[in-house]
A and B are shown apart, each in its own frame.
Chain A
C-alpha cells in the first residue's frame, strides 16, 4: 500500500495535465512544485499561438484544478530531494517542504507584506526586468495565492551580534528612509541604541560580506544615526508596554546587562526596580567609558527609555542582602553588577600615592573628582581597552607624556585595534615587551618611576597568545609620576554574603543557558558571571536573563528551547557569487571620521543623512530577507512566522512522472549579440513578459531608457540549431512564439516596424503557417540570414550586421531601437539528481530518454517512471499536453498491471 499512486515532479502544463488526468481516473496523485505557485512557464506568457488565446485564461483553470482536485495533493515550494525504487516496484521519495515563513491557511494574498518589505531583488517571474520584494507573491495569478519570504539564512551581521540585534534589519530600514523604524527595531533588543551606536565594537562589521569587497558597511554608525534622529525628534521610546502582571523583579546593577533586562521585563508587564550602588546610573557606560567616546547625555537618553516605561532606578543603593529584596516583594532578582574591581599588580610600591587603578581613574574623571595630571608623566600598565581609555583620558587630563607599558607585543594586545590606533593618534606612546616589577618612589612616597623588566615572547599559552618570558638582567626604570593599573577587572562575587556561589575568579556561578544561580529566584547576567567582556555581550546577557526570568515567573521550563532560533548563517561565498561583478559603492567620502582632539567632547561626528543612506545602500542583503519585521507588522492576518523551518517527509508512490520541463538558453552565451551588456537587447521570454497583461512596465518599452520602440528586430535560433554553443537541436517553438510576438507588438504599437532575421521558418502545426502568413500580411518583415554581430550606439540603438540571403547575399547593416533574441531551449539537468539506485537514462542531447519513443511515448529507462512534456525534448504547449496525457495513460497501465496476479 503506497501513500500515493503517482508522484508528479513539476507543475508546468505537462505536470498539471498528467496529474489531473490521473486524478480524474481515480488515482491518488502527489504533485510537487519547487516554486511558490503551480503553473510553470505557461502562466507567464502573454498569449498562445496560433489562436492568440490568453495564456492566463487557459492556465489558471488547470492551476486551480490542480490545487483543488480531490485526488491531487499539490505541494508548492517543495522539492523532491531523491527517489529510489523499492524491491516491489514502488518508489520511496524524499520530499523537502521549504518554509514559506507564511501560514498558508492564514494568508489572504493581500500583498501588504510585499508592499512593506524593505528588500528589493530581481523578479525571476518577470525575467529580471523589474524588482520584486523578499516577501512576495510569485505573480498575480499565483495558485495558491500565498506569500513567501525569501530567506537564504541569517545575514552574518545579524547572526554574529551577541545582543541579538537585527543589524541587517535596521540597515535595510535606514536604506528605505525609515529611520524611526530602524530605531524601534534596535529597541526590540535593548534600550541602549545611542550607546551601542557609539561604544559597541561592532562584531557585525567584522562579519560584513562587503568587507571582502571595498570595505564593511558602517553598521554601528548607522545605529547611531537612527538613535540621533530619534532623540532629536521624539520624546520617549514610543513603545507599547504590556499591562501590569502584578509581579516584581529587582535588578542589581544598572550597566548594560541590568538596563537591558529591566527594559525587557518592564515591557512584559513586570514592576522593575534597579538598585545601583554608584551615584549615577549606567555602570561602566557612565563610569568607565570616557565621554569623548560616549557622552553622558547619550547614556541618559538611553536610560530615559527604561525609566520612560516605568522602571524605577535607585542610585547610591548598594545591595548586600538578596533575601531582603525578596522580603520587599520582588518575585525574582537579577544580579548584574559587572566587574567593578581592578586586578592588582602585586609588585612592591603598588600602595604608593600616585598608583591608581585604571577603573578608579576613569570613574573619578567621569564624576569630576580625578586629580589634575597637568605636567605629569603617566604610565598605564595593561593592553586592554580600559588601558587605552585610561591613557587617552590621561592625555586629556593634561599629562605631558603618556606611555602604555605592555608585557607582550602589539599583535597580542587584547584591546580592539581601533582603540589602539586612536590612542596612538592621541599621542599615547607604547612600550611593548616589558613587565613592571616595582613602583619606585623618591623616598617620601612620591612615585618617580616604574621599574620594568624586558620580556621575550615564548610559546603560546592557554589564551593562544605567546607567553611573555622575562629576560634576565634587563631591568630598567621608566620615569613617571603616575601609574595607572589596567591589567584586569573582576566582579565583586562575595558582595552578597555568599548567598550565591562564586567561582575562584570571583564570578557568580550561574547556568550559562538559563542564567539561574543556585538560588532559584536569583539570576545573574553580564560580566558578573562571564568576567570582563564588552557592552554588546552584556546586553545579550541582559536580554537572555529577562527572557529566563519571565519564563521562570510564568512557571515555564527554562530548558529545552532556543531563545533566538536563527536560521543558519548565510555562506558569504554564496552571497558573493550571486553577482559576477561588483562595480559599485555608493558611500560618499565621509567627513565624519575621528579627528585628533584633546578634550572630552565627542570625537566621532554624526553621520549625515546622505552618508547614512549611501552607507546602508551598500548592503548586499546576504540573507535576502533582512528580518526588519515590516511584513510581520503589516500582515493583518498574523500570517508571518519567521520560526518556520523546512520539513522532510518520505512518501511511497506507485509510479513517478518526471515533468521538469526545460531550461531557456542563456543568451549571454552568444556574446556577439550583447545580451547582458547592451541595454536594449532582450530575450523572447522578456518580450513575452512585456506583452503580458501582468507586464513589468506600463507597455512595451525599451529597458534601456523607457522609450516606446519604433523599430524592433528579432533574431531567431539564438542558441538553437547552433553547433557553436553545443545545441544542434531546433527548439521547435521559437519561430512560432516570435511570430506571435510580432503580431502582438503590431497590435500594441501600431507604428512599430518589426523585422525578423531567420534561417528558415518552421511552422508545421495546425494553422501555424497561416499564422505566419498573417504576421507578414500585418507588416512584419522577414529577412533570411544569420545576424553576425550587434553593436550598441550611444543612444542605445543597436546596429545589426547580417547577410541578406534573399537579396543577393549582400552584407547589410540596419539600425533598431530594440532587439529580441528568440532563445532556444536546453534540457533541464536537475533530473540527474532525482533518482538513486537506478539511472534515469538521458538521450544524446541530455533530455530524458524514451527508449521506445515512437511506440511507447512517455516510458523511460526505469520501470514505473514516466516522462511528460518538454523534459524529454522541446515541445510546444499543445504537444506537451498530448505527451502528458500519454504519460498519464502509461502510468495508469503500469499501476493496473501491478494489480494483475502474476
Chain B
C-alpha cells in the first residue's frame, strides 16, 4: 500500500518485461505486429512508442475502473478502452503531426489487435492499483519495443542496406555496380522476422538458463 513510487517492487515491474518476462520472447504475445512492421527500423520504432503509450494509459484506465467493471463484460470493456484510446491517438496525430500519422496508418489497427494489451489489462490492471499498472504498461511496452527494434535493425540492414532510411552498405559494393554484395531479399519478408525472433529467443535462453523449460 504505502510503497514509495519507485520501490524495488515497482522497479521490477519496469525491468522484468525487458528480460525474464518479455512479452514477445517469453510470453510469445504480439508476434503478429512484430512480424508485420519490422521490415524497416522507423515504422518499428513508431509502432513501439505507440503501443507503449496506449498500453500504459489503457492499464491506468482499467485499473481505475477495476472495482466497477461487471465481470461478465470485462473483455468488452477492455476492448472499448483500447479502441477508444487508439482512435484518439490517431485523430490527434492526424491533426498535429500529420507525417507521423502517415507512417502509422496501417499499424493503428494492429495496436487494437495486439494481444499484449489485452494480456496486460486482464492479467495485471484488473487486480492492481493505477501507479503499478502504469509502470507495468511502460515496462511491457519497453520489452516489446526492444525486440521490435532489434528485429527492425537486422531486417533493414541486411534487407535494404539502410538504417532509418540512410544508406549503410555503400552503393559500390552491390553487384549491379560491379561489387560483390546483394541484399538478402528474404529479410524483407515476414518469415525472416520469425526466424530472427527465433534466434533472439535462442540467444536469450542461452544467457538466462532459468527460462529453459524442463
- The yes or no verdict on A and B being binding partners is no
Interface residues, chain B, with chain A CB atoms under 8 Å away: none
